[in-house]
Amino acid sequence: MNRVVNVARMQLINKWTYLGIPAIILASAFLITYAIWALVPSGGGAMYSGAAQSVMWYFLALGIMSMTQTFPFSQAMSVSRRTFYIGTLGLFAVVALAISVLYYVLGLIEKATGGWGVNGQLYALGWLADQPALVQIYFYFIAMVALFMIGFWFATIYKRWQATGMLVVWIAVAVVLLGLVALATWQGLWPEVGAWFVAQTPLSVSGWATVFCAALACGSYLTLRRATP
């Protein structure tokens, strides 16, 4: 157990990776967006921005990095694969939860200040902002975990089977997606598909994402168990 905590502590030795860089991305995304809003005159309507997502994409990169760089190092530190896995995912979950709460709080501030005084929408996105606090936080959290897991899982595949593995996975993903599209087209299911997407709520999307994350978490653990540094 102690070693699991140490795996997390090890990744915090360099404060920049998990704390500094996300903070900078968060701050600069806000400032740049705000500057654009200030410069570009709006027609009086609400202004949207997807800039808040940028931190989430950074976690995709983090997922890849922790597998390609931190895993080989953890092996040199005589850490078992299981311990590395639990420690890394645990640390990530804590950081993701903290950022989710921060997003929620920023969303509250955004609403209270009338969109930062310029009627902007950066955090309190219309579709989500009316939901209960827990749903909002859960949504952010699971979105970040999903991105991290995608990065982590792809990197495990790469670690274990190199370029061949990546190629096979990409082809498999493409085949499945194309198959679904073909199926929908052939069966004339597009109206139903569209209706299904429209019917989704933040909570149901989060639910699907949780299933997806759980599948990736199992998949990457099983792949990691036989990966070599």
Partner 1 sequence: MTGTATPEVISVRNVSKKYKDSLALDNVDLTLEGGKIYGLLGRNGAGKTTLMSVLTAQGFQTSGEVRVFGHRPYESDRVLGRICFIRESQKYPDDFTPAQAFKAASMFFAGWDQAFADRMVEEFQLPAKRRIKKLSRGQLSAVGVIIGLASRAEITFFDEPYLGLDAVARQIFYDRLVQDFAEHPRTIVLSSHLIDEVANLLEHVILIDKGRILVDEDAESIRGSAVTVVGPAALVGEFTAGRSVLHRETFASLASVTIDARLSARERAEAGELGLELAPVTLQQLIVRKTMAATGTDLSVGERDSDAELEATK
Which of 54/68 has CB closer to partner 1?
68
* Choices 80-88, 90-98, 194-202, 205-213 (CB under 8 A): range interacting with partner 1: 80-88
- Residue numbers 84-113 binding partner 1 by CB under 8 A: none
Which of 49/66 has CB closer to partner 1?
66
* Choices 78-86, 104-112, 133-141, 177-185 (CB under 8 A): range interacting with partner 1: 78-86
Within the chain, strands assigned E span 47-48, 120-121
DSSP state of 113: T
Centroid of chain to Cα 213: 10
Q: What residues contact 11, with CB distance under 8 A and at least 6 apart?
A: 17, 18, 66, 70, 87, 88, 91
CB of 130 to partner 1, least distance (A): 40
Strand partners, 120: 47
Select from 57, 79, 140, 177 the one that contacts partner 1 (CB under 8 A).
79
Q: What residues contact 160, with CB distance under 8 A and at least 6 apart?
A: 223, 224, 226, 227, 228
Give the interface with partner 1 as residue ranges (CB under 8 A). Answer: 3, 6, 9-11, 13-14, 16-17, 65, 68-70, 72-73, 75-83, 225-226, 228-229
